[in-house]
Structure 1
Amino acid sequence: MARFLISIPETKRIYLALALLTLEVHAKGLPLSMASTKTMDRKEADHHDHIALLDFKSKIQHDSYAIMNSWNDSHHFCSWEGVKCGRRHRRVTGIDLQGRGLVGFLSPFLGNLSFLRKLILRNNTFQGRIPPQFGNLFRLQELYLSRNYLEGEIPSNLSRCSKLVHLYQSRNKLVGRIPPEFGSLRNLESLVIQNNSLTGAIPPSIGNLTSLSLISAAANYLEGNIPEALGQLKTLIGLGFGDNRLNGNIPVSVYNLSQLEILSLPSYQLHGTLPSALGLMLPKLEYLQLNDNQFWGVLPASLSNASELGRIDIGDNGFSGRIAVDFGGLQNFISLFAANNNFGSGEVLDGLQFLSTMTNCSQLFGIDLGGNQLKGILPNSIGNLSSQYLSLGGNQIYGEIPSTVGNLISLTTLFLDSNQLTGTVPSTIGYLHKVQRLSLHSNKLSGEIPESVGNLSLLNELYLADNHLGGSIPPALGNCKQLLLLGLSKNNLSGTIPKEIFGISSLSISLDLSQNHLSGTIPSEVGT
C-alpha cells in the first residue's frame, strides 16, 4: 500500500509550505482565497495551486488505478492525470477523477483553487464531510460528488458559488436539511441530491432558482408539503421527490410548468385528483410517476394530447372509472403500470377498449393493471400488442382467452389469473417462446393442458391451479428444463404423474399437484 501514499518527506514539505503561505497571508490580514487572487504574482499562484493538489493527493488512502503516480514533480501539475489548466495561464480550471477507484477524504485546500470551474469526483469512495471551504470557489460551475460515502450536512456556504450550474451530490450519506441559502444560486440548472438521508422541509427558496431545469431529491426523509413556490421554475424539465415523507396535494402551480417532461412523486402520502386538462397543461410530459400514494378520481383522458408521453406509473392508489386515454397517437409509449387501483366503470363495453388503442405503440414494453375492477372480454386485438409484460390478473375479465395471444412472441410475463375466464387454454400459448412466467390460476378454464406448453423452454413459473382443467398431465412439460415452480392444484386432472415431471432438475421452489384425481404410483424419479 505504501506506493499509493504520499511519502513522509514530501508530506512535511507540503505542510511546511502551507504553513508559511498561511502565515504570509495572515500577516497581510487577508483570507487565503483573496490573497491568492489579488496579491500573488503568477509564480506564487502557480505554487499555490500545486500545494492544494498535493494536499488532495495526501488524503488519498487507496488508488486502485495508480492515478496519483502521475502527480509528481517530474512534470508540471497541468500534465497530471485528471487535471486541466487554462490556456492563458497555468491555473487549475478542472479536476475530473470520476470512477477512478479513489479512496480517501476531500481536502479543504481544494477550496483555494480559485480558478476551478469543474470538480468531478463522482463514483469513487470519498468519505467524511464536504469541506465548507468549497464555498470559496467563486468560479465553480460544476460540482459532481455523487456515488461516494460522504456524510454530514451539505455546507450552506456552497451558496457563495454564485456561478454554479450543476450540483450533484446524490447517493451519499448526507444528513440535515436542504440549505435554504441555495435559493441564491440563480445560475443553477441541475440540483441532484437524491438517495441520501436528508430531513426537514423543501425550502420555498428553491422557487428562486429560475434557471433550474432538473431537481431530484428522491429517496430521503423530507417531510411537509410540496412548496407552491416550485411553480415559479418555468424552465423546469424534471421534478423528482419520490420516496420521502411528503404529504398534502400537488400544488396547482406545478401543473402550470409547461416545459415539464418528468413528474416523479411516488411513495408519498400525497392525495387529491389530477386536473382533467393535465395533458394540455403539461404537453411535453414523458413520464408520470405517482405510484404508492392516495390519489383518487379518473386518469385524465387529456393525456392523449401529451404526444411525447412514454410512461405512466400510478399503481397502488385509489384511481377509478374508465381508462379513457387514447394511446393510439402516443408513438413513444412504453408502459402503463396502474395495478391495485379501482379502475373499471362496470360497463362491459368500456372495460378493456383502451387495449386496442395500444396496438399502435410499437415501443410498448409493459402493461400492469392487476388488482382493479376491469370488466369485459379480452379483445382479439390483444395479439397485436408488442408488449413484453402483460398483467391483467385480479379483475373481472370473462370469456375465452383469444387464440391471438400466441402472437405475443415478445412476452416474458403473462398474468391473467384471478378472473372469470372460461374455455380452454389455447394451444397457441406454445408460441410464446420467450415467456418465463405464465399465470392463469383461479379462473374457470376447462379442457386439457395443451401439449404445446412443452415448447416454453424458458419457462420458470407456471400457475394453472384452481380451474376446471381435466385430462392427464402432459409429459411434454418435462421439456421445460428451467421450470422452478409448477402449480396444478385444485383441478380435475387424472391419470398418473408423468415421470418426465421429476426429470426437471430445476424444479426447486414448489410442485403442487394436490386436490386432483391423480392415481398410480409416484415415479421413482422423484428422488432426483
Structure 2
Amino acid sequence: MQSLSLLHVATLAMEKFHHLALLGLVLLCFLSASFAMLPTNITTDQSSLLALRAHISVDPLQILAKNWFVGSSVCDWIGVSCGSRHPRVTALDISTMGLTGIIPPQLGNLSFLVSLDMSANNFHGELPHEFVGLRRLKLLNLSVNNLEGELPWWIGSFPQLLCLSLSNNSFTGLIPSSISNMSKLEGISLSYNLLQGNIPTGIFNISSLQLIRLTGNGLSGTIPSDMCHHLRGLSLLALSQNKLNGQLPSSLGQCSELQTLSLSFNGFTGSIPKEIGDLKNLEVLFLSYNYLEGVIPREIGNSFFLQQLSLQFNSLTGSIPIEIFNLSKLSIMAVTQNQPPITELKVTILGSTFSN
C-alpha cells in the first residue's frame, strides 16, 4: 500500500511537471509569435519603404517606381544602405529626386536607421509622430520641401542626433525646448520657415554645437548674455532676418572658433561690442539693418581673416578705423546708409575698392 501511494505521488508529480512544461512550451511559442510581429527584420524595413513609395504621387525620374520592387533585395534599392553586421536598413538618401508626396508613419519602423536624407523634394504635410522610434538617427535632413505644421515636441527625442536640418519648409509655431535634450547635436538648421517666439536658451547650452542656422523666421527676444559660455566650438551663428532685439552681448568674443556671424535685419540696439575683435578666425560679419549706434570698434581690425563686413543701415557715427583697412583678406565692406552718415572715405587696397 505504501509503495502504491509513493507511486501515485510520483505519477502526479510527473504529470504536474509535464503540464508545466507544456504550459512553458505554449508560452514560448506565444512569445515567439509576438516577437515575430515586432519590427525586427529586413522584411519590416522593406514594407516601410514600400509604404513610402505608395505615398509618393510624383516620381518624375521613375527611380523608385522602377527600382523599388519586392523581387530584389531592399539593400540593393537606389538610395538605400544596409548595415554590414545586421541586414537592416541604416541609411535612406532620396534627396534631389523631384519626388512629391507625404511622409508615411511606417518610416518610423526603420528602427536601425542612422541617416535619413529626403531633402530637396516636394514632400508636404506634417511630420509623423512615429518618427520617435528612430532612436539611432544621427542625421535628419528634410530641408527644401513643403512640410508644414508646428514643430512637434518630440523633435528633441533623438539622443544620437548630430545634424538636424529642416530649413526651407513651412513649419510654424515655437522652437520646442526639447531640442536642448540632444546633447550630441553639432548642427541645427531651421532657416526660412515661419517660426516665432524666443530661441530656447537650452540650445546655447549644447556644447557640441558648431552650426546654428535660424535665418528667415519671425523669432523674437534677445540673445543670452552668456551664450558663448558653452559654445566654444561654434563656427557659424546665423540669426539674420528675424525680430530679435536687445544689445549684442560682449560674450560673443568668447566664441573663439566663430567664422561667420550673421545678425542682419533684426532690431538690435546699442553699440557693437569691441570684444568681436577677439574672434581671430572670423571671416564674415553681417550686422546691417539694425539700430546699432556709436563708433565702429577699431578692434575689428584684429580679425585678420575677415573677408566680408556689412554694417550698413544702422546709426553708426564717426569714421572707419584705419585698422580695418589693414585686413588683407577683406574683399567686401559695406557701411553705407548710416544715420548720421559715416565720415566720407574711399580707399583702394590690393585692387579692391571700399566705400561708404
Give the TM interval when normalised to the shorter protein.
0.7 to 0.9
Give the aligned partner of residue 38 of structure 2. Answer: 35
* Contact preservation (8 Å) 1:366, 1:387: no
Please give the secondary structure, in 2, of the residue aligned with 1:319. Answer: strand
Q: 1:203 to 1:100 in 2, by over 3 A?
A: closer
Give, in angstroms, the shift of residue 93 of structure 1.
2.0
Of 44, 47, 52, the residue aligned with 1:48 is 44
Deviations 1:185-242 (A, max 9, x none): xxxxxxxxxxxxx213x44444443323333333344444444444422233233434
* Contact preservation (8 Å) 1:312, 1:336: yes
Please give the secondary structure, in 2, of the residue aligned with 1:383. Answer: strand
**Structure 1, unpaired ranges of 5+:** 1-26, 38-44, 175-197, 346-350, 393-528
Give the aligned partner of residue 79 of structure 1. Answer: 76
Pair 1:383-2:348 in alignment: yes
CA distance in 1, matches of 2:193, 2:278: 33
Give the AA of the match of 1:322: V
Pair 1:307-2:280 in alignment: yes
CA distance in 2, matches of 1:208, 1:139: 15
Give the aligned partner of residue 499 of structure 1. Answer: none
* Contact preservation (8 Å) 1:220, 1:244: yes
* Contact preservation (8 Å) 2:156, 2:182: no
Give the aligned partner of residue 210 of structure 2. Answer: 237
Q: How does 1:425-436 map to 2 (within 5 A)?
A: none
CA distance in 2, matches of 1:33, 1:134: 21
Q: How does 1:148-163 map to 2 (within 5 A)?
A: 148-157=145-154, 159-163=156-160
CA distance in 2, matches of 1:367, 1:326: 17
Deviations 1:247-291 (A, max 9, x none): 443221214333333333334443333345643x23222222222
Give, in angstroms, the shift of residue 115 of structure 1.
2.4
* Contact preservation (8 Å) 1:331, 1:361: yes
Give the aligned partner of residue 236 of structure 2. Answer: 262
TM-score, structure 2 length as denominator? 0.77
Give, in angstroms, the shift of residue 31 of structure 1.
8.4
**Structure 2, unpaired ranges of 5+:** 1-29
If asked which structure has higher relative contact order (CA below 8 Å, sep 6+), I would say 2
Give the aligned partner of residue 147 of structure 1. Answer: 144
Give the aligned partner of residue 24 of structure 2. Answer: none
Deviations 1:274-326 (A, max 9, x none): 345643x2322222222233333332333222111122222222322222324
Please give the secondary structure, in 1, of the residue aligned with 2:39. Answer: helix
* Contact preservation (8 Å) 1:352, 1:374: no
CA distance in 1, matches of 2:181, 2:216: 24
Of 273, 291, 299, the residue aligned with 1:318 is 291
Pair 1:365-2:339 in alignment: no
CA distance in 1, matches of 2:331, 2:224: 31
Give the aligned partner of residue 133 of structure 1. Answer: 130
Give the AA of the match of 1:366: M
* Contact preservation (8 Å) 1:59, 1:104: yes
Deviations 1:350-375 (A, max 9, x none): x2343x63243234223233334356
CA RMSD of aligned residues (A): 3.2
Give, in angstroms, the shift of residue 30 of structure 1.
9.1
CA distance in 2, matches of 1:207, 1:158: 10
Of 296, 303, 308, the residue aligned with 1:335 is 308
CA distance in 2, matches of 1:368, 1:80: 53
For these two proteins, the number of residue pairs brought into alignment is 325
Q: 1:219 to 1:283 in 2, by over 3 A?
A: same
TM-score, structure 1 length as denominator? 0.54
Q: 1:124 to 1:207 in 2, by over 3 A?
A: closer
Give the AA of the match of 1:361: S
Pair 1:63-2:30 in alignment: no
Q: Between Structure 1 and Structure 2, whose CA radius of gyration is higher? A: 1
Give the aligned partner of residue 99 of structure 2. Answer: 102
Give the AA of the match of 2:345: L
CA distance in 1, matches of 2:221, 2:278: 27
Q: 1:30 to 1:163 in 2, by over 3 A?
A: farther
Give the AA of the match of 2:333: G
Deviations 1:335-362 (A, max 9, x none): 22111222224xxxxx2343x6324323
Give the AA of the match of 2:39: S
Q: 1:253 to 1:209 in 2, by over 3 A?
A: farther
Give, in angstroms, the shift of residue 95 of structure 1.
1.7
Q: 1:294 to 1:305 in 2, by over 3 A?
A: same
Give the AA of the match of 1:384: I
Q: 1:144 to 1:337 in 2, by over 3 A?
A: same
CA distance in 1, matches of 2:137, 2:157: 10
Deviations 1:497-516 (A, max 9, x none): xxxxxxxxxxxxxxxxxxxx
Please give the secondary structure, in 2, of the residue aligned with 1:308. Answer: coil
Q: 1:35 to 1:127 in 2, by over 3 A?
A: same
Give the AA of the match of 2:320: L
* Contact preservation (8 Å) 1:352, 1:377: no
Give the AA of the match of 1:100: M
Give the aligned partner of residue 248 of structure 2. Answer: 274
Q: How does 1:214-233 map to 2 (within 5 A)?
A: 214-233=187-206
Please give the secondary structure, in 2, of the residue aligned with 1:130. Answer: coil
Q: 1:82 to 1:213 in 2, by over 3 A?
A: closer
CA distance in 1, matches of 2:49, 2:166: 22
CA distance in 1, matches of 2:184, 2:141: 18
* Contact preservation (8 Å) 1:142, 1:166: yes
Give the aligned partner of residue 14 of structure 2. Answer: none
Give, in angstroms, the shift of residue 99 of structure 1.
0.9
Give the AA of the match of 1:85: C
* Contact preservation (8 Å) 2:167, 2:193: no
Please give the secondary structure, in 1, of the residue aligned with 2:123. Answer: strand
Q: 1:56 to 1:343 in 2, by over 3 A?
A: closer
* Contact preservation (8 Å) 2:312, 2:334: no
Give the aligned partner of residue 460 of structure 1. Answer: none
